[in-house]
Amino acid sequence: MQLKSDDMKLIIVGGGFGGLRLARRLSNKKGISITLIDQFNHHQFQPLFYQVATAGLNASDISFPLRKVFHKSSNINFRMATVQSIHEMDKKVITDIGEFEYDRLIIATGAGTNFFGNAEIEKYAIPMKSSIESLHLKERLLCNFEHALTSPDEATRQRHLNIIIVGGGPTGVELSGAIADMRHYVLPKDYPEIDFKKMNIYLLEGSPRLLAAMSEKSSASAQRYLEKLGVIVKTNALLKTYDGHTAFLANNELIESALCIWAAGIKGNIPAGIDASLIARGNRIKVDRFCKIQGSENMYAIGDIAFMETTAYPNGHPQLASVAIQQADLLATNFLKEVKAKNGKKEFFYNDKGSMATVGRNLAVVDIPKPKIHLGGFFAWFIWMSLHLMLILGVKNKFFVFMNWLYSYFTHDQNLRLIFRNHENQGSPVPRG
């Protein structure tokens, strides 16, 4: 569609929770024209990547075409492109398909995997920060069992039955529980020749406890649930390196495994052109209380990429979807006031509505700050499912996710354990890059 030349021209880079929320809030608002840029043509619901990786959901069930979101929007254009650099002086965004001029630029590029400079771990461990990576992990996981079935000796078989997950945050905890459920309900039926009592799932966390951002009670409950499911939880366990066959821990412990899943850290996806002095720990861009990049007049950052230092959050806000959504709401309100020449722009104050993590079938933990409540078990699991179902875009997607969950719950099974790539190439770790 043709955007009006006299409107305030907004460019939003990134179609994640923050960028998409901002575009939707400003859809069809007079005086504002928006170009949304993303390297993918769809929004990805990241909290359920682990279910794609464990064959619980189709990748298409948690993805939604960005163009479809804006079918009824008269002031929004979408461009699938990769941002190459930002030129603040010229107010231009340079992409692989051309240049885009802006009056206001909002960077909402989210975060990718942080391997903390360990090249060998990066080469052999499997991350899970996109639908593509989740599908890759699913095939590597399934191929491990295929190779365990035909392994020439017990040591090789055991290596393919050992799975290491690094990182005890929500992703690591949820992934560990999902794989444990597979081991209990699904894999013995798929591979009756394998004794899955010998399968080991290791969850390695470098700090003293799991779910460090949640309460100690929820942390303890999560560890108890995982251990009940048979997951070997190791806290204060730092992975030193991994060569595709053996994990070397900092305490000199060795774990033989053909599959190491990396869920231990994230770092911001910062486009070229941002002043290096504005980059904080975790590769995040320093912003003020209005989400404006410090020292800039017309550039903003929201979500995982933004570092806002406050009294309550001296190390920046947690990198959660709720933070990105609330920051997008704030920007939308302030931009509309600016277009209407109204005073009274609002500063950002994060309203922490709680945090949660699912651990396995009928098991989850939920922290609610006001009133201070900690929930665990089936009721917490039900809350977790309900909230995630509401947040998924599209009625069709919600329906398919719900039906998949319902089918899996009553049958203890799913029909998504498919391997599409050449089987003979799955015998050894596949380096990336």
Q: Domain holding 192: CATH number?
A: 3.50.50.100
**Is 198 part of a structural domain of the chain?**
yes
* Tokens describing residue 196: 């899955």
Same domain, 176 and 323: no
Same domain, 382 and 408: yes
* Tokens describing residue 2: 């043709």
* Tokens describing residue 24: 């939707």
Instruction: Note down the domain range covering 237.
Output: 119-264+355-419
For 337-344, the CB contacts below 8 A with 24+ separation are: 338/8, 339/8, 339/29, 339/30, 339/31, 339/32, 340/31
* Tokens describing residue 174: 């949820």
| Short-list 391, 405, 312, CA closest to 47 | 391
Same domain, 137 and 242: yes
* Tokens describing residue 5: 């030349």
216-254, pLDDT tens digit by residue?
A: 999 999 999 999 999 999 999 999 999 999 999 999 999
* Tokens describing residue 241: 């390196």
Same domain, 250 and 325: no
**Is 348 part of a structural domain of the chain?**
no
Report pLDDT for 370.
Answer: 86
**Is 430 part of a structural domain of the chain?**
no
pTM above 0.95, yes or no: no
Give pLDDT tens digits along the chain (433 positions): 555 667 899 999 999 999 999 999 999 999 999 999 999 999 999 999 999 999 999 999 999 999 999 999 999 999 999 999 999 999 999 999 999 999 999 999 999 999 999 999 999 999 999 999 999 999 999 999 999 999 989 999 999 999 999 999 999 999 999 999 999 999 999 999 999 999 999 999 999 999 999 999 999 999 999 999 999 999 999 999 999 999 999 999 999 999 999 999 899 999 999 999 999 999 999 999 999 999 999 999 999 999 999 999 999 999 999 999 999 999 999 999 999 888 889 999 999 999 999 999 999 999 998 888 999 999 999 999 999 999 998 899 999 999 999 999 999 888 899 998 754 444 444 433 3
**Is 203 part of a structural domain of the chain?**
yes
Q: Are strands 98-101 and 92-95 parallel, antiparallel or unpaired?
A: antiparallel
Per DSSP, the three-state class of 390 is helix
Same domain, 190 and 322: no
Provide the number of structural domains found in the chain. Answer: 2
Same domain, 207 and 287: no
| Short-list 370, 389, 386, CA closest to 378 | 386
Boundary (domain end) residue, out of 276, 307, 339? 339
Same domain, 30 and 41: yes
| Short-list 39, 244, 206, CA closest to 122 | 244
Boundary (domain end) residue, out of 290, 313, 339? 339
| Short-list 369, 391, 389, 392, CA closest to 381 | 389
**Is 431 part of a structural domain of the chain?**
no
**Is 427 part of a structural domain of the chain?**
no
Q: Can you state the angle between helices 17-25 and 321-339, rounded to 10 degrees?
A: 30
Report pLDDT for 344.
Answer: 85
- Residue 285 makes CB contacts below 8 A (sequence gap 6+) with 107, 268, 270, 274, 278, 279, 293, 301, 305, 306, 307
CB 310 within 8 A of CB 287: no
Residue appearing with tokens 């190459």: 84
CB 117 within 8 A of CB 132: no
- Residue 287 makes CB contacts below 8 A (sequence gap 6+) with 293, 294, 300, 301, 306, 307, 308
Q: What is the CATH number of the domain that holds 273?
A: 3.50.50.60
Boundary (domain end) residue, out of 339, 371, 392? 339
Same domain, 125 and 201: yes
Same domain, 42 and 170: no
The one-character DSSP state at 244 is S
Sheet architecture: strand order including 98-101 = 83-87, 92-95, 98-101
Same domain, 245 and 381: yes
**Is 432 part of a structural domain of the chain?**
no
Same domain, 327 and 367: no
Same domain, 259 and 394: yes
| 405 exposure class (CB count in 10 Å sphere: 0-12, 13-18, 19+) | middle
**Is 345 part of a structural domain of the chain?**
no
